[in-house]
Amino acid sequence: MAAKLGQILIAAGVIAEEQLREALVLQKKSGGRLGTNLVKLGHVTEDKLVTFLSKQYGVSAINLADYKIDTAVLKLVPAEMAKKYMMMPVARVGATLTVAMADPSNVFAVDDIKFMTGYNVEIVIATESALINAITTSYGGKGEGLVAAKPQQQT
């Protein structure tokens, strides 16, 4: 990862240093990812955050509402895994499975998906709220009560 998210957002004029400090305090107190805390505090929108994470990790950002996910693709990843990693399989082309995630830095999730499916995994990023909605809708309600897992902290 080239630069830290907080510094990227400050450099782009999206947040002020004081807003970053406030989010870091919340992160120390409650955990969670820095970006999620910035959204909770109202300092950045989810869409803007996804745009910056996309740049930071060098992955494409997608709007899950634009996707009609094939049931054959859904069957490749169990609902439990989708919920555990806050991810959604969106397409399969040849030996590559495209997966939308809120946290593209989660290498454990990518490794688990590769191992379980046998496919190469291409990561795209989507908003956490869109992922929760897609998981709940696509897995026939099996995602109800889904709350983002407490991921590793990033600063």
What does the pLDDT look like over 64-112, one tens digit per residue? 988 888 899 999 999 999 999 999 999 999 999 999 999 888 999 999 9
Is residue 33, in this structure, part of any structural domain at all? yes
- The count of domains in the chain is 2
Instruction: Please provide residue 96's backbone torsions phi and psi, each rounded to the nearest 5 degrees.
Output: -115, 130
What is this structure's pTM?
A: 0.79
Please write the tens of the pLDDT for every residue from 25-36. 999 998 888 888
With residue 122 as reference, give the H or E element that holds it. strand 120-125
Residue 154, in any domain of the structure: no
33-47, 122-136, 139-153, range with the lowest pLDDT: 139-153
Shared domain for 98 and 125, answered yes or no, is yes
Q: What is the DSSP string of 20-55?
A: HHHHHHHHHHH-S-HHHHHHHTTSS-HHHHHHHHHH
What CATH number did the domain enclosing 82 receive? Answer: 3.30.300.160
Domain presence at residue 85: yes
52 and 37 part of one domain: yes
Q: Is the pLDDT of residue 129 over 70?
A: yes
